[in-house]
Amino acid sequence: MTELAADETVLNLFKDSDALLHGHFKLTSGKHSEWYFEKIRLIENPAALEKIVDLLAAKIRREVPAFDYVVSPAYGAIAIGFLAALKLGKKFAFTQRADERMTIRSGFSGLDGSRAVIVEDILTTGGSIQEVIACLKERQVPVAGIYVLVDRSGGAIPVEGKAVGSLLALKVEAFEPEVCPMCARGLPLTKPGASDKKV
Ligand SMILES: [Zn+2]
């Protein structure tokens, strides 16, 4: 089953950004799916992204009473975290990989002694979020919350014991062509454009 949990407003905003496509898609694996998510479209459409981040910021404002920084991993989540920080009136910092290892740029000196909310674009395994938490731990920065736009894990897996908040939960089943229900209904098949990651 394809699970898609979000209210109509959130769903429409993702559709407006062209990041979330509904139809009948051929994935690089050769399997077919009903939904297709292309996260690069979020960055490509700032006006649509801003509306999505408005909702994320409102959720963070409701749920996290006190923090100083929004921290996001480079590169995909920088625009999202930065916008969220701007809307929340907080500071922003990002982590990046240096020789494979996730680090916080030394220039973000104000982080020490602060509390941080981590903002990431998509949750799949939680690996990069774990690395961001490790970076923050090294700086003795407590994590006050973890938020993603899209949860593809199939139901908010906790990362290091902390719940991950998301706007959209999207667990997509991929079908072999022989058993594909969209093929059975005769829907035209589309092959999405070049992208590193397929749903
Ligand atoms: Zn099909």
For 83-140, what is each residue's pLDDT tens digit? 999 999 999 999 999 888 899 987 888 898 899 999 999 888 888 899 999 999 999 9
**pTM, to two decimals:** 0.85
28 Cα: distance to centroid of ligand 1 (angstroms): 13
141 Cα: distance to centroid of ligand 1 (angstroms): 47
Task: Check residue 2 and give its pLDDT.
Answer: 52
171 Cα: distance to centroid of ligand 1 (angstroms): 17
Q: Looking at residues 19-40, what average pLDDT do you find?
A: 90
24 Cα: distance to centroid of ligand 1 (angstroms): 6
193 Cα: distance to centroid of ligand 1 (angstroms): 17
184 Cα: distance to centroid of ligand 1 (angstroms): 7
Going by DSSP bridges, is the β-strand pair 91-98/101-104 parallel, antiparallel, or unpaired?
A: antiparallel
Task: Check residue 99 and give its pLDDT.
Answer: 86
Task: Check residue 105 and give its pLDDT.
Answer: 82
Mind spelling out the 3-state secondary structure of 28-63? CCCCEEEEEECCHHHHHCHHHHHHHHHHHHHHHHHH
* 10: confidence class by pLDDT, cuts 50, 70, 90: confident
Take residue 124 and report the two structure tokens written for it: 């799949």
Q: With CA atoms as reference, report the closest residue to 42 among 158, 159, 133, 167.
A: 167
136 Cα: distance to centroid of ligand 1 (angstroms): 44
Can you list the pairs that 150-154 forms with residues at least 24 positions away whose Cβ atoms lie under 8 Å? 150/14, 150/37, 150/39, 150/121, 150/122, 150/123, 151/122, 151/123, 152/37, 152/122, 152/123, 152/124, 152/199, 153/123, 153/124, 153/125, 153/126, 154/3
48 Cα: distance to centroid of ligand 1 (angstroms): 29
Give the tens place of pLDDT for each residue, 63-74: 999 999 999 999
Percentage of the chain lying above the pLDDT 70 cut: 92
192 Cα: distance to centroid of ligand 1 (angstroms): 14
186 Cα: distance to centroid of ligand 1 (angstroms): 8
